[in-house]
Amino acid sequence: MLALGIRYLTKYAVATNLAQQKPEWPPHPARVFMAMAAAHFETGADPHERSALEWLESAPAPSMYASDADERTTVRTYVPVNDVHRGIVQRPRQDRAFPRSRPHDDHVFLIWQNAPPEDIRQKLDDVCRKVTRIGHSMSAVQMWVVPPGKEPEPNLLPGGEEPRTSLRVPSRGTMRSLEAAFNGPAIEEYDRLSDALSTARGAQKRRLEAELKEKYPDGRPKSRRPQIVQWQTYGRPASSVHNLAAERGPFDDTFIVLRKEDGPALGLESTLQLTAALRNAAMKARGTGAAPPEWLSGHDPSGRPSTRVHVAFFPLPYVGYEHSDGHIMGLGIAIPREFAASPELRTVLGPLFFNDQHEEREIELWRKGTWRWLLRREDRERPPLTLQRPNWTRASRVWASVTPVVLHHYPKKREGDIERIVSEAFVSALLPEPQIIDVRSVSLVPGAGHALAVPQYAGGGEHLCRYQTHVLVRFARPVIGPVLVGRGRFRGYGLFKPVSDEELDTWTK
């Protein structure tokens, strides 16, 4: 085993998660590697150190130990910028932000299960001792190789049971990429020629000027910002999720994510319009030949509503954050777990996403005279959190409704009857019965709004119950989503979001 220890000497970490413009915590393994590479290059680039770093970049993504951290007030500094205007040099002040966080424990450890040869371990320790910062220069650190047998128990694992974040990690070739980005040989040659030119005379000066102009017509070469393209999802170990095995609902957690490419902004009040349009597109994708299967249509061969779990269509709204407004950023298609690995899935839904030449196509949805949307299957490396599956599926004991739950029948005017019907709705949806049910008219999730802000669900006939409410539930064991409950759950009503303890504390204040 190999473990690298990091101690934040100022008790603060100053680094920016560029994807979210927020403090980066825990430090991405790639950021730690870049700090080690910088220390190596700045202190003579010993070839044995490089071999050790190349061993490290080729190793699998490490486990980590890192505490939670509090986001602190962003430090802003002002940098003067020269601006020549009408012969006058002006110096407007341009502000720069340095997001920072304060970890509960100022120690972080990166842990690899495969131990390197002793000479590699020693050279990695030599590099670690030269590292003075990770991230901004205000983020001063001490770094070392942990003695064998002293490695801590990790609390973040690659692909853990409760995914919460994606971190950049090094991969084979990262050292070459960093070296190319730094552009050191070109910069050194330019400086050598410039120094020689400053003392040259006559023909030698003209020759050096021509060589500089030919090789570097744009002046001194520049270093580029390093680009790390390898990402790894990290989550908590199974034992840390309340030491309880998570239970799964009827849907596979790798649901299909479609992002909106074009179209007007629509809120949760348009849920049924959007999901109905997507369902129609999926039903028609194969053409007019074979009838769609029961697991897609939701109807048995006789045309009656199916009693089996079938595909659900639901919105992916921007909710859960301080300034969330509930606008829908995409749509999800939840597949019953029993069909998730079936070859029939590609046969039936493939034409929705690909044309006859196997090229990916856009999906067009519209409501006549009102709106038109273009959707595309989400395949970006770093999509917004709203369009990331763990935002809707991660194992949690606490879940809160984002779209209202539609009850199966009207409650009586006696205390606890709504909670009883909601409990039955969870069991009917093949989910565990909640321990605690908190019925509320306004969703706990920021941006989701009032239950009556979403039009009453009209599916299934005009005489069926239309009573809808928001709900917060707590289970005895963690549950893995997606969680969809109540009437209309196959059309996006009764959609729940997992809630962490930190979010619960913040949202209930």
- pLDDT range class, residue 342, cuts 50, 70, 90: confident
Question: Which of 312, 301, 303 shows the shortest CA–CA distance to 492?
Answer: 312
- pLDDT range class, residue 85, cuts 50, 70, 90: very low
Structure token pair of residue 402 = 């984002």
What's the rounded Cα separation, in Å, for the pair 206 and 180? 30
In this structure, what are the phi and psi dihedrals at residue 429, rounded to the nearest 5 degrees? -85, 10
pLDDT, mean over the chain: 86
Domain ranges across the chain: 2-180+226-240, 184-215, 247-507
Question: For residue range 97-113, what is the model confidence (pLDDT) as tens digits?
Answer: 567 888 888 899 999 98
Beta bridge partners of 13: 101
- Contact between 32 and 120 (Cβ < 8 Å): no
Residues near 117 by beta carbon (within 8 Å), at least 6 away in sequence: none
What's the rounded Cα separation, in Å, for the pair 9 and 72? 17
- What Rg value do the Cα atoms of the chain yield, rounded? 28
- Contact between 175 and 37 (Cβ < 8 Å): yes
| Identity at 171, one-letter amino acid code | S
Do strands 2-8 and 75-80 pair parallel, antiparallel, or not at all (unpaired)?
unpaired
What's the rounded Cα separation, in Å, for the pair 420 and 173? 58
Is CATH 1.10.286 what the domain over 2-180+226-240 is classified as, yes or no?
Answer: no
What is the CB-side half-sphere exposure of residue 9 using CA atoms within 13 A?
A: 11
Consecutive H or E run containing 418: helix 417-428
Question: For residue range 348-401, what is the model confidence (pLDDT) as tens digits?
Answer: 888 898 887 778 889 999 998 899 999 999 988 778 989 999 899 999 999 999
Identify the residue with better confidence: 359 or 434. Answer: 434
User: What's the average model confidence in pLDDT over 494-507?
Assistant: 88
Helix/strand/coil (H, E, C) string of 150-214? Answer: CCCCCCEEECCCEEEEEEECCCCCHHHHHHHHHCHHHHHHHHHHHHHHHHCCHHHHHHHHHHHHH
Predicted model pTM:
0.56
Structure token pair of residue 252 = 């596979």
- Contact between 233 and 164 (Cβ < 8 Å): no
Question: For residue range 20-47, what is the model confidence (pLDDT) as tens digits?
Answer: 557 888 999 999 999 999 899 888 889 9
What's the rounded Cα separation, in Å, for the pair 407 and 90? 66
